[in-house]
Amino acid sequence: MIKMEVAPRVYMGSAMPVDPSLRVEGRIAWISLGSPGILGIDSIRRLIDLAREAEASEEAKIIAITGEGKYFSVGADLKHVASASSPDEASRLFKELASLFRKLLSLEKPVILGINGDAYGGGAELVWTGDIVVAVRGARLYWVEARWGLVPPMLTVLGPHILGHARALYHAMTGEPMSVEEAYQAGIVSRLVDSREELEDEIRAITSRIMENSPQAVYSVRRIARASLSTGLAELGISELVRLSMTSEARRAAKSFAEKKRPSYDW
């Protein structure tokens, strides 16, 4: 039997959260997902605002996104879906999450993602928004959306082309984690480091290497690479996530989440 690790206890609200924040340090705008990186409606809107601020900063030339503490991100806060009084209200969280992904993918400045710890659900999906991804060894990526009646849109759309069809669908359908070491071998992660301190140092070093090159050339590289993410397939994945969040099945699963229980399904 496959042992599936789902959302950590802190995801259930057992620890005092730290809000997302922005600091500009030299040429880098550091966006923190906070701790434990819960993606609720308010925090998602805050992250979109921070991305706008980082993009508008004249000083910052690179945007780095990372988490704090043990987790990179514990994913979407399904308690909102559990408490929703209608399908439309249930979908609000994922409509906001879709707006965050669209914003991050449309940024002109290069985005470096720093995976400081485990990433769950929507947090694992964020890995696809980074132009360059640096990860601390031992961290894991959990695409657990199907457990909660949902779908990981970016893994489902991009995964088959990068990981291969069978491997991408295995993780999307089972929720089994992928280590960052595996992600590095697959080409999802660019660099591996041994600690959070080394993570920030490596991001600074990569920033210096990027800035030895033509800014217009770097911006063009990003635009060309990101063009494939603006296809109808990517939008299909996002719209399917929103659709599923409105179903009675997903809403029942969210209530199980809020009660710290595993959902069950009739096949």
Euclidean distance between CA atoms 201 and 230, whole angstroms: 32
Sign of the CA dihedral 129, 215, 32, 19? negative
Peptide bond into 36 cis (omega under 30): yes
Residue matched to tokens 């998602």: 44
Q: Choosing from 68, 96, 145, 200, which is the catalytic residue? A: 145
Phi, psi values for residue 175, rounded to 5°: 75, 5
145 counts as catalytic: yes
User: Strands (DSSP E) along 167-206, which ranges?
Assistant: 178-179, 191-193
Which one from 68, 125, 200, 202 is the annotated catalytic residue? 125
Does residue 53 carry a catalytic annotation? no
Write the pLDDT tens digit of every residue in 154-204.
999 889 989 999 999 999 999 999 999 999 999 999 999 999 889 999 999
9-258 belongs to CATH 3.90.226.10 = yes
Burial (CB count within 10 angstroms: exposed 0-12, middle 13-18, buried 19+), residue 170:
middle
pTM: 0.90
Q: Which of 60-69, 126-135, 231-240 is least confident?
A: 231-240
Contact 91, 246 (CB under 8 A): yes
- 193 strand-pairing partners: 136
- Among candidate residues 262, 224, 244, the one with its CA nearest the CA of residue 94: 244
